[in-house]
């Protein structure tokens, strides 16, 4: 922004606000992409851990049946 000695005009305020909004949108776009990747990785890990723990529990709960011939 340039400093002027005259009165502040509507166009000066609009230009300043547009600059702030554009900077904010760029930042949000960058952070949003990274956040989506992190959220996907966390969801995948949670699913994998749940699967492994479920298999382990299933093995512990299974009965072993022994068949003997008389």
Which domain covers residue 46, as residue numbers? 9-61
Q: Does the pLDDT value for residue 52 go beyond 70?
A: yes
Mean pLDDT value across the chain:
80
**Domain assignment of residue 1, yes or no:** no
Domains: count for the chain: 1
pLDDT score recorded for residue 21: 77
Global pTM exceeds 0.75: no
In a domain, 14, yes or no: yes
Between CA 13 and CA 7 the distance in angstroms is 11
Q: How confident is the model at residue 61 (pLDDT cuts 50, 70, 90)?
A: low
- Quick one: pLDDT band at residue 47, thresholds 50, 70, 90? very high
Higher pLDDT, 57 or 21: 21
pLDDT score for 48: 94
Residue 2 lies in a domain: no
Six-digit token string for 27: 């930042």
CB atoms within 10 A of CB 4: 9
């Amino acid at each position: 922004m340039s400093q002027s000695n005259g009165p502040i005009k509507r166009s000066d305020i609009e230009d300043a606000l547009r600059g702030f909004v554009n900077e904010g949108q760029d930042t949000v776009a960058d952070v949003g992409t990274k956040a989506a990747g992190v959220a996907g990785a966390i969801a995948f890990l949670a699913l994998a851990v749940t699967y492994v723990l479920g298999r382990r529990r299933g093995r512990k709960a299974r009965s072993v049946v022994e068949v003997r011939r008389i």
